[in-house]
Amino acid sequence: MNSSEAIALVTGANKGLGKEIARQLAAQGVFVLLGARDRERGQQTEAELKTQGFKVQFIPLEVTDQKSVEQAASEVEKQFGRLDILVNNAGIALDWFAPAQLDVETLKKTYETNVFAVFRVTKAMLPLLKKSKAGRIVNMSSGLGSLTLHADPNGPFKDANWLLAYCSSKSALNAMTIAFATELRTTGIKINSANPGYTATDMNQNRGTKTVEQGAATPVRLALLPDDGPTGGNFSDEGVTPW
């Protein structure tokens, strides 16, 4: 697909990686719908990106709210009749402590946004993506979602046994990537998990070692995959991330 004809929806696009993914897609000529749950923050981002010359439009979207998601889907249907790119970016990290200190409510809350909401948004947008010539779905995952890396006693997370809610929510998200890719394999739709790397955003009090420009590169590449590109994979800018 010619990127200048493509319509994309990025969830959680008012700041951080979502905003930068939106900016980079728009820089490639994609018309980007900026999903944001807060009207003021969404409109501010729309105004900022429009001032930079990009074609973007704020769309109200609280991903944990079924009604909000349905309204967004019907708005996209009404305005464009299809969706070419969905970036499931909205996410939260709440538990910065060891598993035994985690409570069920925090676990549930994390899964509401990072897992159930991605399922909800993907299901709602799928009929529109099926109307695209080359639908692309990108699930914003994390290296922290890799069970292989966590289970490796010499791996990068051997001393990082915190964030169980966040890490396991991204593992569940990866499972969804595989399941939808299998279901959609005979269609033109490709779905992949993107691992942006440790990126300086509000999520980590800007402690990340990468810039948002660097972190957005992999999700943007996956959003613009050619027809012979992969599906059902898990990628970072270093290549394949193990499941």
Shortest spacing between CB 13 and ligand NAP, in angstroms: 6
Residue of 3, 41, 75, 109 that binds ligand NAP (CB under 6 A) = 41
Q: Which of 43, 57, 64, 106 binds ligand NAP (CB under 6 A)?
A: 64
Catalytic residue among 166, 168, 173, 231: 166
122 contributes a contact to ligand NAP by CB under 6 A:
no
- If binding is defined by CB under 6 A, does position 15 make contact with ligand NAP? yes
Six token digits for residue 121: 């948004």
89-126 burial, b at 16+ Cβ within 10 Å, e below that, comes to bbbbbbbeeeeeebeeebbebbbebbbebbebbbebbb
Instruction: Determine which residue in the list 6, 12, 31, 171 makes contact with ligand NAP, applying CB under 6 A.
Output: 12
Annotation says 166 is catalytic? yes
Closest residue by Cα to residue 12 from 123, 135, 139, 174: 139
Task: Count CB-CB contacts under 10 A for residue 38.
Answer: 12
d(CA 88, CA 17): 11
Name the residue nearer to ligand NAP (CB basis): 77 or 112.
112
Q: Which two tokens stand for residue 8?
A: 């994309």
- Greatest alpha-carbon pair distance for the chain in Å reads 52
- 62 neighbors 114 (Cβ within 8 angstroms): no
Q: Which of residues 65-94 bind ligand NAP (CB under 6 A)?
A: 89-92
| By the rule CB under 6 A, 165 interacts with ligand NAP | no
Give yes or no for residue 178 binding ligand NAP (CB under 6 A).
no
Least Å distance, CB 228 to ligand NAP, is: 27
> Which range in 11-19, 77-85, 101-109, 130-138 contacts ligand NAP by CB under 6 A?
11-19
Catalytically active residues, by annotation? 166
